Amino acid sequence: MTNVATETMTMTERTRVRRLAERGHYETATIHAILDEALICHVGFVIDDRPVVIPTIHWREGNMLYFHGSAASRMLRSLRDGVDACVTVTLLDGLVLARSAFHHSMNYRSVVVFGKAQPVPEEDKVRVLESLVEHVVRGRSKEIREPNLKELRQTLVLALPIDEASAKIRTGGPVDDEEDYALPVWAGVLPLTLTPGAAIADRDVTAEVPEYVKTYAR
Amino acid sequence: MTNVATETMTMTERTRVRRLAERGHYETATIHAILDEALICHVGFVIDDRPVVIPTIHWREGNMLYFHGSAASRMLRSLRDGVDACVTVTLLDGLVLARSAFHHSMNYRSVVVFGKAQPVPEEDKVRVLESLVEHVVRGRSKEIREPNLKELRQTLVLALPIDEASAKIRTGGPVDDEEDYALPVWAGVLPLTLTPGAAIADRDVTAEVPEYVKTYAR
């Protein structure tokens, strides 16, 4: 029997976590969960032998990571042409305050995906873009106006298979040198979370704030 | 008289914001403020003609952007060798919920810095690493144990001049097509902020939680 929770990525030279290897994770479920929680990613690609890193929205369906944007975007045009991409997602979970400067750290969960993206066929765009809205705000896609033909034509959607990927995770408190535990300094973790504030209605809105906005959480 | 607030970066082919050019900002003060608020950046570099993007901590002093880590880190060793880097910082400020799927967006402030990093000389490391602690948690550097010689030797600190950089910023509510304003759907902005939770003390801590932890904010 196949158990999705224990599926793991095949480690490659690029995805093997080298520094602090004990923080490396290769289970598909772990990688997917981090990609799904994050609202933005950073896409790296090479132009004229030099790196470019651009923040953008990503979303996932199954084993595919999606990106979208204007068909005029340099990033999307570069990626569409099949160049190598590195997509990195990082969730910052807290500050780790140690007794020594050296052992200060951060708690985080990150994923790196390597690969080449391909354009999503026209006939799949409506469905895939609906899953983008649901990724960002679950429950919203049914309420809003769908993309029309002109908007679909202006939008490039790319898919990157999540085949070569790994996660890196740090959790827990500081790990100080044994002799430093006697120092009279406070040490511990300050958790950090991306928290919604009060929703700000646009002009001419008569509808109530929806439940999915009021109770928004990642 | 020189007015720092109005200093601007010289725009280059790489830093000119192309997509939605009205979101591009080139004032030094704007770029510095975004770099200073952010706790992590994404560093892009090229290995074997392919892009790699790694999240790490950055900090700034004057016109220099700093990174640090183990002297054994592949990223730091690559950057130390003077390869081209692209460092991107993104602050996510909110979800922009429009009446149409197409006009959904996010509010954000991002900075992209291009350049080549150089190692910080040994004699400057203590001072520069102290400014790292102060960047992350102002007020903490005086309380903790300073790095010893062994720790300094293990730590590589790199400096990247902030000479070729630009910011991209979106603020405000959704901008829908005129005919969509009549739709009965809620629209507006859901602000998002990185918020500290309650501090979690490590084992064997007798000191009170410091004020700078209790009132932590970026």
Q: Which of B46, B92, B187 sits opposite A46 (nearest CB)?
A: B46
The answer to whether B19 contacts A173, with C-beta atoms less than 8 Å apart, is no
Q: Residue A114, Cβ neighbours under 10 Å: how many?
A: 23
pLDDT of residue B19: 80
> In the predicted model, what is the mean pLDDT of residues B137-145?
96
pLDDT of residue B10: 85
pLDDT of residue A21: 84
pLDDT tens-digit map of A88-125: 999 999 999 999 999 999 999 999 999 999 999 999 99
Q: Does residue B122 have a pLDDT over 90?
A: yes
The answer to whether B106 contacts A52, with C-beta atoms less than 8 Å apart, is no
pLDDT of residue A187: 98
Q: Does residue B170 have a pLDDT over 50?
A: yes
Closest-CA residue to A87 (of A117, A119, A62): A117
Q: Residue B128, Cβ neighbours under 10 Å: how many?
A: 18
ipTM for the predicted complex comes to: 0.94
- Residues on chain A touching B53 (C-beta within 8 angstroms): 42-44, 51, 53, 86-88, 112
> In the predicted model, what is the mean pLDDT of residues A81-91?
95
The answer to whether A203 contacts B72, with C-beta atoms less than 8 Å apart, is no
- Alpha-carbon gap, residue B43 to A155, rounded angstroms: 28
Q: Does residue B1 have a pLDDT over 50?
A: no
pLDDT of residue B130: 97
pLDDT of residue A9: 87
The answer to whether B144 contacts A98, with C-beta atoms less than 8 Å apart, is yes
Residue of A nearest to B95 (CA): A136
Contact call for residues A39 and A218 (beta carbons, < 8 A)? yes
- Residues on chain A touching B136 (C-beta within 8 angstroms): 95, 104
pLDDT of residue A4: 52
pLDDT of residue B4: 52
Percent composition of chain B: helix, strand, coil (DSSP 3-state, to 5): 25, 40, 35
- Residues on chain B touching A85 (C-beta within 8 angstroms): 51
Query: Could you tell me what percent of chain B has a pLDDT over 90?
Result: 83
pLDDT of residue B126: 96
What average pLDDT is seen over chain B?
A: 94
The answer to whether B146 contacts A196, with C-beta atoms less than 8 Å apart, is no
- Residues on chain B touching A44 (C-beta within 8 angstroms): 42, 44, 51-53, 86
The answer to whether A189 contacts B199, with C-beta atoms less than 8 Å apart, is yes
Alpha-carbon Rg for chain A in angstroms: 21
> In the predicted model, what is the mean pLDDT of residues A158-182?
97
More confident residue, B35 or B78: B35
> In the predicted model, what is the mean pLDDT of residues B159-181?
97
What is the token pair recorded at B195?
Answer: 């918020």
Q: Which of A98, A112, A199 sits opposite B53 (nearest CB)?
A: A112
More confident residue, A105 or A16: A105
The answer to whether B92 contacts A194, with C-beta atoms less than 8 Å apart, is yes
Domain boundaries, chain A: 4-214
Q: Does residue B93 have a pLDDT over 70?
A: yes
What residues contact residue A125 under an 8 Å CB cut-off, 6+ apart?
A147, A152, A155, A157
Q: SS3 of B101, please?
A: helix
**A136 band by pLDDT with thresholds 50, 70 and 90:** very high
More confident residue, A165 or B18: A165
pLDDT tens-digit map of B16-71: 888 888 889 999 999 999 999 999 999 999 999 999 999 999 999 999 999 999 98
pLDDT of residue B82: 86
Q: Which of A53, A102, A181 sits opposite B53 (nearest CB)?
A: A53
B6 to chain A nearest CA, in Å?
26
pLDDT tens-digit map of A176-189: 999 999 999 999 99
The answer to whether A192 contacts B191, with C-beta atoms less than 8 Å apart, is no
Q: Which of A74, A84, A101 sits opposite B51 (nearest CB)?
A: A84
- Alpha-carbon gap, residue B119 to B63, rounded angstroms: 15
Closest-CA residue to B126 (of B147, B101, B109): B147
- Residues on chain A touching B185 (C-beta within 8 angstroms): 143-145, 207
B1 to chain A nearest CA, in Å?
36
Under CATH, which architecture does the B4-176+204-214 domain have?
Roll (2.30)
**A2 band by pLDDT with thresholds 50, 70 and 90:** very low
pLDDT of residue B194: 96
Q: Scanning the structure block, which residue is given the tokens 């959480």?
A: A217
> In the predicted model, what is the mean pLDDT of residues A164-179?
97
Q: Does residue A1 have a pLDDT over 60?
A: no
Q: For the domain made up of A4-214, give the CATH fold.
A: Pnp Oxidase; Chain A (2.30.110)
Q: Residue A13, Cβ neighbours under 10 Å: how many?
A: 8
> b vs e for B164-195, b when ≥16 Cβ sit within 10 Å of the residue's Cβ?
bbbbbbbeebbebeeebeebebbbbbbebebe
Residue of A nearest to B155 (CA): A102
Contact call for residues B146 and B126 (beta carbons, < 8 A)? yes
What residues contact residue B37 under an 8 Å CB cut-off, 6+ apart?
B91, B109, B218
Query: Could you tell me what percent of chain A has a pLDDT over 90?
Result: 83
pLDDT of residue B183: 96
Q: Does residue B196 have a pLDDT over 50?
A: yes
Alpha-carbon Rg for chain B in angstroms: 21
More confident residue, A18 or B24: B24
